Structure 1
Amino acid sequence: MENIFKLFLKNIPFPIWIKGLDGKFKFVTQEYVSIYKKDISDFIDKKNEDIFDRELVEKYNSHLNWVVKNKKARTQEGYLNGEYRECTIFPILNNEGNTIAIGGFIGNINDIKVKDKEIKEQRNIINTIIDTLPGVIFYKDINHKYVYCNEGCKSFYRQKGIKNIIGKTDLEINEDKKLAQKFISDDIYIIKNKESIYNEVAFTLENGSKQYREVAKLPALDENNDVMGVVGISRDITAKKEFNNKLKYLSYTDILTGTHNRAFFEEKAIELFKEENFPIGVIMGDANGLKLINDSVGHLEGDKLLKNIANIIKESCKDKGYVCRIGGDEFVVLVPHADEKYCEIIIKDILNKCKNKKQDFINISISLGASTTDNINKDIHQTFKEAEDKVYRQKLLQEKSIRSAIMNSLKVGLETKSVETEEHTERLVKNALKIGKKLRLTMAELDELILVAKLHDIGKIGISEEILLKPGKLTNEEYEIMKSHTEKGFRIVQSSSELIHVARGVLTHHERWDGNGYPLGLKGQEIPLLSRIVSVVDSYDAMTNDRIYKKAISKKDAINELEKNSGTQFDPDIVKVFIDILNREDPYNFFKIE
């Protein structure tokens, strides 16, 4: 039997050795000695000192002494002949438990080590890639504890004041327990159903600010298709959400007035049209005189008017309805749970606020109408049409007086600019009438002549005071701007269809008889008669009264100037008539009308 054991040990295809307590080799296998490229005879009855170099001897003896002393096996790893080895040394004990020899065997773990190294390197590469990816990436086991998280995840939780999340659940790391429980419930669903979940979540950071994140979680499956845990990917969408909110705001907001726009109105009208919101009131409004203001004092003033009206409507409808600007000068208010009486209260409040609100030289005015629906068969757009009809009927009744009031406000504004005084206008009207009567104009033509005289410079309301009141000579650029007052005035006056002839007089009062005037370069009889009259009396008045840029001259010198420019700047016939009038007038009753 003993021989069988010896043969068994000898034929074991593994590196095995046995040493006595004296440290000498008693048995070695061929596999063992082959590692050191020696023969069996080189080991038997030899000590480590006889075979290995000093460094290895010290290392081997240290392990041997530890095993003898502790009577326990000891395993050490090493790198030998270009391969990883694992050496296990163990005591050989007799029945009394005493150590009678030392045994050892060597295992080749090179493949395992190489594989482990490759796995570690791959894991490091993967971790590096994951850490450099934008966003938060994590892995939780089936008990909902965090097992792994990338650098983005660590950074996110550091912002919340949490240094480490590994081994913890969401309930342990989130102050918002309701949200934490939601995360765990999602994990349970994913593990149970092997399905992914996508959420949008709002987090509160340590500084109190809100951060919005898009979270995708999916099951991690093993080779048997069993769920090992949950993988999560989360990215910050705060900027995207803010951008979308801004885009939504811009899509549904009128930028000029800050009210809602037409697109919002169309959607909200559909959304509100439910019995639970009945009755629904629709208040329609149309700003009065916007075109006239744009043409007279410019679009900036027109924009200011719209803003003022919008602010008044928003103030009157605060928490009551949705204010929308649906066109250039059109507003509409959708008011749920509002009958016509309630809408009328809102309308009266808007009109009162308009009366009390002033905008430079212009009275703020808006025409309003309202209609309601409490019938599922009468939609918002039908109701809107009814309200719109009421507005336009009101505008037809008010238009003339409103336009007249605006025109008067503009005229007062022109006087306020110290450009045209009331006395100057009065003198022009009186002198123009004298000429008109001498030329035997009809009463209608005289009425128009009065209006041309009064409104000829109304376009100057749209010229800046820096140019109007400049004491010195105007630059070429400033002069061109000044010349535009004829066209501005034309647009203002022609807003009244019944004043079209007056508008032409306003447009052409700076035309010259020789064709060198502006803005049209008309010549001789091409120039409207009313313009030719106003041109003469306006020039005479400018010469005989002090202006910012020059002192007045005498009546005689003014007459000489009229004669000098007769046939070039002025209509010679009108100059002759006017000079005759001036020469026959009593100098002490200068403006007496015959």
Structure 2
Amino acid sequence: MYLFKKSDSTKLALIAIGAIIIIISVLLEFFSFPYVTISGGILTIYSAIWFGVRGGFSISLFSCFIILIYYFVNPDQYILSNVITSFFFYLFLGVIVGLFHDRLKESQKQLIAAQISQRNVEKSLEEERNRFKQYLDIAGVMLLAVDSDGKVTYINQKGCDLLGCNFEDIIGENWFERFFPDVDDKNFINSDKFSELESYVLTYNQQKRLFHFRNTKLTDSEGNIEGILSSAEDITDRRQTENDLKGSEEKFRNLAENIPGVIYLCHYDKSYSMIYLNQDIESLTGYDKSDFLEGKLNLTDLILEKDLDTINKQVTRAIENQKPFYLIYRIKDVLGQIKWLEEKGIGVYKEGKLNHLEGHISDITARKEAEERIRFLSFYDELTGLYNRRFFNEELYRLDTVRQLPLSIILGDVNGLKLINDTFGHFEGDKLLLKAAEAFRESCRKEDVIARFGGDEFIVLLPKTTIEEANNIANRIEDNMKQKQLSHIPPSMSLGVATKDLAHISVHQLIKEAEDKMYEKKLLKSKQVRSDILQSLLKTLREKSYETERHSKRLEVLSVKIGEALNLPLSELQKLSILAKLHDIGKVTIARTILKKKTSLTTEEWKTIKKHPETGYKIALSAPEIAPIAECILYHHERWDGQGYPHGIEGDEIPLLSRIIAIVDSYDVMVSGRCYKKSMPKESAFKEIERCSGRQFDPNLARVFIDIMKEGTKLDTIS
């Protein structure tokens, strides 16, 4: 069934339907609704979006084109003239409607665009206002606007939080009257402190908080002031922290200035340039602290070159690993003296980056010297500088091999050391040991191991040395020892020599053999040695005092006379003879200036004089030949009444021989005289002895002595 017929009514219907379709299409497009058109039996679906792109004119052309195609599809049913007429009609109508529609559409678009643009601007402004308010609210400082009357017109959320109030509570409040009582608002804007100041603000809870303000003036176009815009931050806690830090820094500085050693802060550069140093740097180096801080001098300039490279490597390694560093090095101070330093330091980091170095430096020179001394003493004798026994034993076992045979040992003992120590003290004894060490060094070879083996014993280990060679070396040692000069006694030494030619002989047997030979020689010449020592001591005594040989001889004759009168046995008379010569042997240790002083002795000098009996006692005990008279020497200055010295014993407690020597010694001094006292006649001396009888002297012995002298004992024969 066809929609179009050849009658006029059909034409009119077709035109009407086409017009209605175009009008509906335009209206649907205008109101932007989807629609459906049916023309000539063909279903066509359009959308408002598509028509919005094409426009009304395109719609008309497209509709007419559809009808034309329809007619061409059915040419036998329609009259071509009707088709052409319908096409041009629709084309004309479509153009008219399309033009109208395009203009209407353009106006509509412009109106909608204007409305949309206005809404977008308003929305953007609102968003910007909200965003700006958010920016202000999240600011870390208080932002404040005050008008010309001093009333608050704006404050951000941070300001509300700092003041302890809500936004609505503060808006309209007078800022100066309510919160800023310390500032005069009338003169504030024109003051020098306007742009930036610190002042206290009274918060809502009546707390005074210190704020730091930055202010600017708000003016109109003519320059009139409309208000103030301020940014402020609460610095109360920060200021308190600063004050605390300032106090802590002062405490640290006081501590750093008083702590032993050098406290420093320095840059991590080639010269470790200083940032801070305490005062101890001056006592350590001798240079002014300012020289280091001003860069005129660096600590690296003082460090020994051989130590500096090691220091740089250790510090670099520690910094790379972010660990502390520990250094020991040497410097040369302003006087050129070498000092050992110990440094403990660490890198200080900020935000992961090295900022500076800080640490402590100690002077460990004394410690290092002590360590060196300990190291030295572990192998050397402190006094002589020779090897000690420990080192010798190690060398003995090291050299006890077949390749070192024949292996010889020389063992020596210094004669008279105990006597010197007891008489003159260990200082003089040390001198004797040093002389012995010199004799060994001068006599032995470089390959020989010389050691101090004990108190007064020395030992020499001689590898690849025959007994004949060892004896020659021992003879050189004895000769060199005799040539040494010592003020009190002639130095001498007893030596023993032993050699092993076979590997199976132990080194202990070797030492024992040398020791036996040494003591054998010592025993053979011990009497002569002691005699030489005593003679040397007597000679020394006579040189420094009034104890002449004639005086000793006179005392010997007089004391023996008394002993004979008392019928003493020969052994006691022999003791008296020796005692007469050695009773004042202890004076050998007293200074010449005291012994020959012409004026009265001081209290201290008398104390020194009174020590000589004890010294003489020690000397006598050290020599077996005179040991039996040791007590007589000790007590020969005791008095009958107990007022003597050194022990204050009295009467018969005093040995008989000591009482005899006391009388004859006093008598000889009285009749012979001294530089501090004139001599007196014999009769006067007898009277003095009688006067002191029973007090200073034994009364019986005093009477015997006077009787002997009055009976005609002549001293001229022995003078």
- Shorter-chain TM range is 0.5 to 0.7
Alignment of 1:391-406 (within 5 A): 392-406=519-533
Structure 1 residue 210: deviation in Å? 4.3
Q: What is the CA–CA distance in structure 2 between the aligned matches of 1:233 and 1:573, rounded to whole Å?
A: 92
Structure 1 residue 542: deviation in Å? 3.9
CA 1:551–1:472 in 2, change beyond 3 Å: closer, same or farther? farther
Q: What is the CA–CA distance in structure 2 between the aligned matches of 1:411 and 1:54, rounded to whole Å?
A: 110
Among residues 485, 489, 493, which one is paired with 2:616 in the alignment? 489
Q: What is the CA–CA distance in structure 1 between the aligned matches of 2:654 and 2:252, rounded to whole Å?
A: 84
Q: Which moved more, 1:341-350 or 1:435-444?
A: 341-350
Structure 1 residue 408: deviation in Å? 0.9
Q: What is the CA–CA distance in structure 1 between the aligned matches of 2:571 and 2:311, rounded to whole Å?
A: 86
Q: Which moved more, 1:408-417 or 1:339-348?
A: 339-348
Structure 1 residue 422: deviation in Å? 1.6
Alignment of 1:318-467 (within 5 A): 329-330=455-456, 332=458, 351-367=478-494, 392-433=519-560, 443-467=570-594
Q: Which moved more, 1:416-425 or 1:481-490?
A: 481-490
Q: What is the CA–CA distance in structure 2 between the aligned matches of 1:458 and 1:346, rounded to whole Å?
A: 37
Q: Is the 8 A contact 1:486 1:506 kept in 2?
A: yes
- What secondary structure does 1:570 align onto? helix
Given the alignment of the two structures, is residue 499 of structure 1 paired with residue 615 of structure 2, yes or no? no
Q: What is the CA–CA distance in structure 2 between the aligned matches of 1:379 and 1:232, rounded to whole Å?
A: 62
CA 1:15–1:311 in 2, change beyond 3 Å: closer, same or farther? farther
Q: What is the CA–CA distance in structure 1 between the aligned matches of 2:518 and 2:127, rounded to whole Å?
A: 114
- What secondary structure does 1:362 align onto? coil
Given the alignment of the two structures, is residue 9 of structure 1 paired with residue 136 of structure 2, yes or no? no
CA 1:247–1:33 in 2, change beyond 3 Å: closer, same or farther? closer
Corresponding residue of 2:383: 259
Q: Is the 8 A contact 1:514 1:568 kept in 2?
A: no
Structure 1 residue 407: deviation in Å? 1.0
Given the alignment of the two structures, is residue 245 of structure 1 paired with residue 373 of structure 2, yes or no? no
Corresponding residue of 2:54: none
Given the alignment of the two structures, is residue 136 of structure 1 paired with residue 264 of structure 2, yes or no? yes
- What secondary structure does 2:342 align onto? strand
User: What is the CA deviation profile of residues 438-472 of structure 1, one whole-angstrom value per residue up to 9, with x for unaligned ones?
Assistant: 66655544433321222233233344445543456
Q: Is the 8 A contact 1:457 1:489 kept in 2?
A: yes
Structure 1 residue 420: deviation in Å? 2.0
| TM-score, reference length from structure 1 | 0.60
Q: What is the CA–CA distance in structure 2 between the aligned matches of 1:483 and 1:146, rounded to whole Å?
A: 68
Q: What is the CA–CA distance in structure 1 between the aligned matches of 2:584 and 2:245, rounded to whole Å?
A: 85
Structure 1 residue 402: deviation in Å? 1.9
Q: What is the CA–CA distance in structure 2 between the aligned matches of 1:282 and 1:339, rounded to whole Å?
A: 9
**Unaligned runs of at least 5 residues, structure 1:** 17-30, 40-52, 58-75, 88-106
Q: Is the 8 A contact 1:199 1:216 kept in 2?
A: yes
Aligned length: 509
CA 1:455–1:176 in 2, change beyond 3 Å: closer, same or farther? closer
Structure 1 residue 415: deviation in Å? 1.8
CA 1:233–1:532 in 2, change beyond 3 Å: closer, same or farther? same
Give the aligned residue type for 2:628: H
Q: Is the 8 A contact 1:431 1:591 kept in 2?
A: no
Corresponding residue of 1:95: none
| TM-score, reference length from structure 2 | 0.52
Q: What is the CA–CA distance in structure 2 between the aligned matches of 1:503 and 1:531, rounded to whole Å?
A: 10
- What secondary structure does 1:201 align onto? strand
**Structure whose CA Rg is larger:** 2
Given the alignment of the two structures, is residue 214 of structure 1 paired with residue 330 of structure 2, yes or no? no
Q: What is the CA–CA distance in structure 2 between the aligned matches of 1:124 and 1:560, rounded to whole Å?
A: 93
RMSD after superposition = 6.3
Alignment of 1:20-31 (within 5 A): none
Among residues 129, 135, 151, which one is paired with 2:276 in the alignment? 151
Identity of aligned residues (%): 24
Q: Is the 8 A contact 2:484 2:491 kept in 1?
A: yes
Given the alignment of the two structures, is residue 570 of structure 1 paired with residue 701 of structure 2, yes or no? yes
Q: What is the CA–CA distance in structure 2 between the aligned matches of 1:345 and 1:137, rounded to whole Å?
A: 67
Corresponding residue of 1:27: none
User: What is the CA deviation profile of residues 464-495 of structure 1, one whole-angstrom value per residue up to 9, with x for unaligned ones?
Assistant: 44554345666787667555544433332232
Given the alignment of the two structures, is residue 186 of structure 1 paired with residue 305 of structure 2, yes or no? no
CA 1:131–1:404 in 2, change beyond 3 Å: closer, same or farther? same
CA 1:292–1:230 in 2, change beyond 3 Å: closer, same or farther? same
- What secondary structure does 2:626 align onto? helix
Structure 1 residue 245: deviation in Å? 2.0
Q: Is the 8 A contact 2:307 2:330 kept in 1?
A: no
